[in-house]
Amino acid sequence: MSFLYKRRVQFYETDAQGFVHHSNYLRYLEEARGEFLRSLGIPYSKLREEGYEVVLLEVCCQFKKPLFYDEEFLIELSLSHMDRFTFVFEYKITTKEEIKALAHTKHCFLKNSKIVSIPDKVRKALNERSL
């Protein structure tokens, strides 16, 4: 099962060529990820209150076609892998069924600056919504 996050390109996100600067795609992925966790009842703020940090270990983004100012787009996010310590999200960024970018991110949890197992409530929420 996937999560959909809808957004519109803002003018300040574009570059001199008139399309979205590549660095903004990482922000889009983070926004979608944050909203996904919020939808599961485990927002970053709650995790941080409990002493956890969600750390980005890896990111890869394959740019297919540019996004332009004022264009609406969807980010489809899904969990593709989870083991004891890490989890991976896959993303598909589209407009009107046209793929603009494909991406994935790999994460882990830290507590007291040390890698820890994925908390049980997070694992349970991700399993119920995904895979």
Closest to 34 (Cα-Cα) out of 116, 105, 84, 83? 105
Q: Name the strand (E) or helix (H) holding 128.
A: helix 120-129
Q: Are 108 and 57 in contact (CB under 8 A)?
A: yes
Q: Which candidate in 15, 70, 83, 120 is catalytic? A: 15
Give the contacts of 108 (CB within 8 A, at least 6 positions apart): 54, 55, 57, 85, 86, 87, 115, 118
The answer to whether 15 is a known catalytic residue is: yes
Catalytic residues: 15
